[in-house]
Structure 1
Amino acid sequence: MDFTLRQQALVNSSWEAFNQNLPLFSVLFYTFILEKAPATQNMFSSLKDANADEVSLYNPSVNAHAEKVFGMVRDAAVQLRTTGEVALEDITLGVIHTQKRVAGSHFMVVKEALLKTIKEAVGNEWSEELSNAWEIAYDGLAVAIMKEMS
């Protein structure tokens, strides 16, 4: 299945909605992750020393990391549209994820949190088509990271 221009546009426009209130949506993203998998807290250097309920709107490293994650998924959508696959620009991502002992199940938790966050960001614009576009782009990125982990 090809990643369509429409899917790429959906990811781009919803990323813009996410980015319009980056601090709020960053906190939501990490809150969703920690609710589902509290043990992952130490995998994120920006959350390592915080209480789960202390994920702050004013933590620049939380915001920067969330922006990077969502931006990489947006970039994955572009790559899927243009080349049909995702290639990492930063090959150290595999090493970092290996060092943090990230497992396949963690990718699923992050995917779920990402989708819930985008749903909050776009509100009434949420649709199955939008969800599907983000899922495909995220899965492409996750596969590329996991390849670098092995």
Structure 2
Amino acid sequence: MLAINWLLCFLLSSNLFKTINLSLPYIFSLKLLYTLKKNTHTQKMTFTEKDEALVKESWDIMKLNIPEYSLRFFTIILEIAPAAKDMFSFLRDSEEIPHNNPKLKAHAVKTCESAIQLREKGEVVVGETTLKYLGAIHLKNGVADPHFEVVKQALLRTVEEATGDKWSEELKCAWSIAYDELAAAIKAEMKEEAA
């Protein structure tokens, strides 16, 4: 079973997976990736009005200190996958995450706000040109499915830290669904752009 998991992950993104295995295997192991992929393929969750309210409420908490949480978000990404640094133009040329980088803050805000802009029925509400741009830029930077999983884990950990005792499985599920729908929309645009 472990060999099958490894082969699946290697085919999806060998460079990222090597980085993950070398950096923090106990946090983001092959077994965890297999479980994440298995769960996303076997369970279709619906983003409800209650989920939307939970996400918006927790986002309001995070917006109170966006510089800290945007920095934390990217720090977690790089803890999980240090090689991801080269995928972000605003991080490539520095040895550490710059605390006062306006592009980093803007990117974190855009990522989080895009994840919570959902229509009543759970469809992502991102302007067509913006969604096309997101697909194009993610394709250009070589983003693959495992990269989306790294960002999802970083987002969930950041929201957990920001919300403190308000964090719950229900809130985690709401953010997971919101992020998964945003990621699916970006992936669809990436496929269209590649065609």
Same fold (TM over 0.5): yes
Distance 1:130 1:108 in 2: 18
Partner residue in 1 for 2:31: none
Segments of 5+ residues of structure 1 without an aligned counterpart are: none
**Contact 1:26-1:67 at 8 Å conserved across structures:** yes
- TM-score relative to the length of structure 2: 0.71
1:124-143 matched pairs, under 5 angstroms: 124-143=165-184
Partner residue in 1 for 2:185: 144
Partner residue in 2 for 1:83: 121
- Choose which of 58, 75, 87 in structure 2 pairs with 1:31: 75
Distance 2:56 2:122 in 1: 17
Distance 2:55 2:122 in 1: 16
Is 2:101 the counterpart of 1:59?
yes
Supply the AA of the counterpart residue of 1:58: N
- Residue range with higher mean Cα deviation, 98-107 or 2-11: 2-11
Question: Runs in 1 of length 4+ with deviation above 3 angstroms?
Answer: none
Report which of the two structures shows the higher radius of gyration computed on alpha carbons: 2
Displacement of 1:115: 0.2
- Choose which of 66, 70, 76 in structure 2 pairs with 1:22: 66
Residue identity over aligned pairs, in percent, reads 48
Partner residue in 2 for 1:118: 159
**Contact 1:37-1:109 at 8 Å conserved across structures:** yes
After superposition, the C-alpha distances for 1:79-137 in whole angstroms (9 at most, x for unaligned) are 2xx13322542111111100000000000000000000000110110000000000000
- Tell me, what secondary structure is at the counterpart of 1:83? coil
Segments of 5+ residues of structure 2 without an aligned counterpart are: 1-44
Is 2:148 the counterpart of 1:107?
yes
Displacement of 1:2: 3.3
- Alignment RMSD, CA only? 1.2
- TM-score relative to the length of structure 1: 0.91
